[in-house]
Amino acid sequence: MMELSNSPSAQAMLSNGIVVSLLALGGLAARAVLRNELWRAAFARVLGLRRWSIVVLSLYVAVALLDSVVWVGGSMQSEDQVASFEARSVIDRLFVDTTEKGYSAPMARVEFYDKSPLLHPQRHLLGTNILGQDVLYVTLKGARVALLIGGLTSLITIPLALFFGMTAGYFGRRWDDLVFFVMSTLASMPGILLLIVLIMVLGKSTVSVCVALGVTSWVGFCRLSRGETLKLREMDYVSAARSLGVSHGKILLRHILPNLMHLVIITFVLLFSGLVLAEATLAWLGIGVDGSWGQMIAVAKDELSRDPVVWWNIVPAGAALFGLLLSVNLIGDALRDVLDPRTWGSQD
Amino acid sequence: MLAYLVRRSAYGLFVVLGVIFFLFVLFFTVASPDDIARQAVGPKAMPEVIQQWKVNHGYHLPVWPGAGHLSDNLLVDHVQRMIAMDFGKSDADGVVIWERIRQGMWPSFFLTLPMFVIGMVASILTSLFVAFFRETYLDRWVVALSVLAMSIPTLLYIIFGQFIVGTLLRWFPVSGFDADPAVILRFLTLPVLIGVVSGLGSSVRFFRTVFLEEIHRDYVRTARAKGASEMRVMFYHVLRNSLVPILTQVVMEIPFLFTGSLLLEAGFGIPGLGAATFEAISANDFSTLRAMVFLGSLMFIVGQVLTDIGYTLVDPRIRLDA
């Protein structure tokens, strides 16, 4: 995605374009939810159940958005003037001129090893890493990467899985056999190994990580939507529509898709946390995405065996990852309890 | 019964063929032999060097069958080799891959088997216990704890486990392996423990839902009504009727056994199959990766066929003629 163009202003346009389209998509979704009585009631319940998780998740989203609003130029007194010609986000601009020469502890006045005075004493809330970058800055930058991995991949994966699952379940016969066979073939390969192989084959890059995650994650939801469509296909209202001469496309869109929407939302949330977790694992194996928390952890893992311990690299990255996954998992749980009729009665 | 067995196994074989073909598409067309050769000998290598590398490692044949090379191409060669389980030599260092598998098998086995068994027993017992105390504070706390545990990536378990138990407390070595029975426990206890703990959260939650679904059934009420103790209800009636989802979950975990060991082996320096895969990633060793994926898929497919047959033994309600 990012390799398409290297000029700073094109990068800025692309990044801002993603922000605008995501905001528009969110707005449309919110409008659709508010218009429907049942959806509104369900989301009000989730909001009541998981107020704090939603606040935390919104913080992550806000940081990622602040890191995505990008423009070129701007006055600064940096010693390397190159930066003023680069596309930089709001977060980048907040941390102008904070680089040190190497490690320093949180809020330290001197460097960690040679004890020479820092360029910016007591300014690094979480210290600096081996390259002298402010750890708070690097951690905040990770939010955008995590949301891109989880969000964009599931935004691409879910419609595809839904399409194949719905058509396979609805039309059946040969097409169903084919889709089911492809699903069982993909599902029989151990997930992480398939991921590794796909990334190795496509070349180690951010795009291939997203493609590989997409290829491996569509099967589960495809199977789920196929099963549900098989059930819905036999419903009275579907046969009524068919006998009235409604076309297949319209039946799928008007009568089957709305009844799968709760599964789409639940899957989106659970898939999101699964993708972020998978990326962390890949980063640890050395084939992750640049700038992700997984990579920060992978790079920082040996620092724990230093003496004295360098803990301020791994702890913020781990805590940020944990906070995101926890809030997403909690929201996903609440959504499942509220939206999925199969769990009613047995849960809460 | 026999007809079902034959049909189920035939489908399994079909899926194996699908996996073989998929691997071919990935390893010979998405990454062409030229790409693989260039990654091995360097991007600026002379064409002759690349050609020589391809001949040495068996990538020189034409990819697809065509006029003049109907049986003399990579597709036929790949399918024949995979069916014969002949994985050839490693692309990186020329070691026979079966030799590597034979060496790595036992460390992997010693690591994953106890992890799997202890993890299974622990999560089933915990979730039965929680289902027994359903809708109390204990239940809520365990559910909240398992969501917490699920949100921690496995690599953090490994890193902090090593740091706390290995570096701070110095109870066990941080990493390493020795197959000598006298010391093997010293090396395996920590990885097994971390493997069990990191998987506990999600499986406790899953089994709890399974048990709670059963607890609301009529036969449980009948069992209570006729005076069965709560212990007997849980361990005899509920557990037995939950065996089908449990069995499904057990098989679903077989490939994760492989992946779990990938992370743990790489983290703890245990020279098993997972560590071999880890080394293959950094060495761009495509033939070893191919062999590992094929073996993993084969294990999973055989496991699935066995489960489906197992269903008919565990649950007499499942009909074979459907």
Mean residue pLDDT of chain B comes to 82
Given a contact cutoff of 8 angstroms between Cβ atoms, the answer to whether B79 and B24 are in contact is: yes
Q: Return the pLDDT at B321.
A: 54
Question: Which chain B residue has the Cα nearest residue A314?
Answer: B156
Smallest CA-to-CA distance from A189 within B255, B198, B213 is with: B255
Q: Is B39 left (phi over 0), alpha (psi -120 to 50) or beta?
A: alpha
Q: Return the pLDDT at A347.
A: 42
Distance from CA of A156 to the nearest CA of B (A): 21
Rg of chain A over CA atoms, in angstroms? 24
Residue B253 predicted with pLDDT over 80:
no
Q: Return the pLDDT at B118.
A: 92
Using the Cβ of B263 and the Cβ atoms of chain A, whether some distance falls under 8 Å is answered with yes
Given a contact cutoff of 8 angstroms between Cβ atoms, the answer to whether A343 and A336 are in contact is: yes
Greater model confidence, B84 or A296: A296
CB contact under 8 A, A190 and B26: no
Structure tokens at B198: 């990191």
- A58-62, A174-178, B55-59: which range is least confident on average? B55-59
Q: Return the pLDDT at A110.
A: 74
Q: Which of B27, B148, B262 sits opposite A326 (nearest CB)?
A: B148
Q: Three-state SS for B229?
A: coil
Q: Is A221 left (phi over 0), alpha (psi -120 to 50) or beta?
A: alpha
Using the Cβ of B213 and the Cβ atoms of chain A, whether some distance falls under 8 Å is answered with yes
Mutation choice for B interface testing from A197, A208, A335 by most B CBs within 10 A: A197
Using a CB–CB cut-off of 8 Å, the residues of A that contact B are 181-182, 184-186, 188-194, 196-198, 200-202, 273, 277, 280-281, 284-287, 294, 297-298, 301, 304-305, 314, 318, 321-322, 325-326, 329-330, 333, 343, 345-347
Q: Which of A284, A330, A346 sits opposite B212 (nearest CB)?
A: A346
Interhelix angle B2-24/B74-83, rounded to 10 degrees, is: 140
Q: Three-state SS for A117?
A: strand
What are the start-end ranges of the H helices in chain B? 2-24, 33-41, 47-56, 74-83, 97-132, 137-150, 154-161, 184-215, 218-225, 230-232, 239-241, 243-268, 273-282, 286-314
Distance from CA of A295 to the nearest CA of B (A): 11
Residue A5 predicted with pLDDT over 60:
no
Task: Return d(Cα A73, Cα A83) in angstroms, integer.
Answer: 8
Mean residue pLDDT of chain A comes to 82
Q: Return the pLDDT at A327.
A: 92
Distance from CA of B35 to the nearest CA of A (A): 9
Distance from CA of B59 to the nearest CA of A (A): 15
Given a contact cutoff of 8 angstroms between Cβ atoms, the answer to whether B248 and B142 are in contact is: no
For B:40-69, CB contacts with A below 8 A are: none
CB contact under 8 A, B147 and A304: no
Task: Return d(Cα B199, Cα B260) in angstroms, integer.
Answer: 9
Task: Return d(Cα A12, Cα B26) in angstroms, integer.
Answer: 34
Taken in order of first residue, the domains within chain A and their CATH numbers are 136-330 (1.10.3720.10)
User: What pLDDT band is residue B322 in, cutting at 50, 70 and 90?
Assistant: very low
Residue B142 predicted with pLDDT over 70:
yes
Mutation choice for B interface testing from A179, A185, A270 by most B CBs within 10 A: A185
Element (H, E) at A199: helix A191-202
Reported ipTM: the value is 0.82
Residues of B within 8 A of A318 (CB-CB) are 156
Mutation choice for A interface testing from B160, B297, B304 by most A CBs within 10 A: B297
Using the Cβ of B159 and the Cβ atoms of chain A, whether some distance falls under 8 Å is answered with yes
Element (H, E) at A211: helix A206-233
For chain A, the 3-state helix, strand and coil shares in percent, each to the nearest 5, are 70, 5, 25
DSSP B129-141: HHHHTTTSHHHHH
DSSP A78-109: -S-GGGGGSEEEHHHHHTTT---SS-B-TT-S
CB contact under 8 A, A305 and B19: no
pLDDT in tens, B157-193: 888 888 888 878 888 887 777 777 777 788 888 888 8
Question: Which chain A residue has the Cα nearest residue B29?
Answer: A201
Q: Three-state SS for B210?
A: helix
Residue A145 predicted with pLDDT over 80:
yes
Q: Return the pLDDT at A6.
A: 63
Q: Which DSSP symbol is given to B57?
A: T
Given a contact cutoff of 8 angstroms between Cβ atoms, the answer to whether A63 and A91 are in contact is: yes
pLDDT in tens, B297-314: 888 888 888 888 777 777
Residue B287 predicted with pLDDT over 70:
yes
Given a contact cutoff of 8 angstroms between Cβ atoms, the answer to whether B234 and B223 are in contact is: no
Q: Which DSSP symbol is given to A46?
A: H
Q: Return the pLDDT at A344.
A: 59
Mutation choice for B interface testing from A177, A216, A281, A284 by most B CBs within 10 A: A284
Distance from CA of B309 to the nearest CA of A (A): 17
Structure tokens at B309: 């047959």
Q: Which DSSP symbol is given to B303?
A: H
The size of chain B, in residues, is 322
pLDDT in tens, A45-89: 888 888 888 898 989 888 888 888 877 766 555 555 555 666 777
User: What pLDDT band is residue B285 in, cutting at 50, 70 and 90?
Assistant: confident
Residue A346 predicted with pLDDT over 50:
no
Q: Return the pLDDT at A1.
A: 41
Task: Return d(Cα B310, Cα A297) in angstroms, integer.
Answer: 42
Residues of B within 8 A of A186 (CB-CB) are 22
State the greatest distance between any 2 C-alpha atoms of chain B, in Å, as a whole number.
Answer: 83
Task: Return d(Cα B313, Cα B306) in angstroms, integer.
Answer: 11
Mutation choice for B interface testing from A50, A189, A342 by most B CBs within 10 A: A189
Structure tokens at B158: 């490994």
Cα first-last separation, chain B: 11
Beta strands in chain A (DSSP E): 70-72, 87-89
Q: Which long-range contacts (CB under 8 A, 24 or more apart) does B210-213 make?
A: B210/B127, B210/B242, B210/B245, B210/B246, B211/B127, B211/B128, B211/B131, B211/B238, B211/B239, B211/B242, B212/A346, B212/A347, B212/B131, B212/B134, B213/A346
Q: Which DSSP symbol is given to A134?
A: B
Task: Return d(Cα B151, Cα B201) in angstroms, integer.
Answer: 9
Smallest CA-to-CA distance from A2 within A293, A294, A290, A298 is with: A290
CB atoms closer than 10 angstroms to residue B129 = 16
Single-letter amino acid code for the residue at B216: H
Residues of A within 8 A of B213 (CB-CB) are 346
CB contact under 8 A, A190 and B155: no
- A36-40, B133-137, B257-261: which range is least confident on average? B257-261
Structure tokens at A317: 């990255």
b/e sequence B162-176, b meaning 16+ C-beta within 10 Å: bbebbeeeeebbbbe
Residues of A within 8 A of B28 (CB-CB) are none
Q: Three-state SS for B176?
A: coil
Taken in order of first residue, the domains within chain B and their CATH numbers are 102-275 (1.10.3720.10)
Beta bridge partners of A117: A110
Residue A2 predicted with pLDDT over 50:
no
pLDDT in tens, A235-287: 888 889 888 988 888 888 888 888 888 888 888 888 898 899 888 888 888 88
pLDDT in tens, B99-120: 888 888 888 888 888 888 899 8
Give me the mean pLDDT over the B64-89 stretch: 76
Given a contact cutoff of 8 angstroms between Cβ atoms, the answer to whether A342 and B209 are in contact is: no
Smallest CA-to-CA distance from A121 within A101, A107, A102 is with: A107
Q: Return the pLDDT at B159.
A: 87
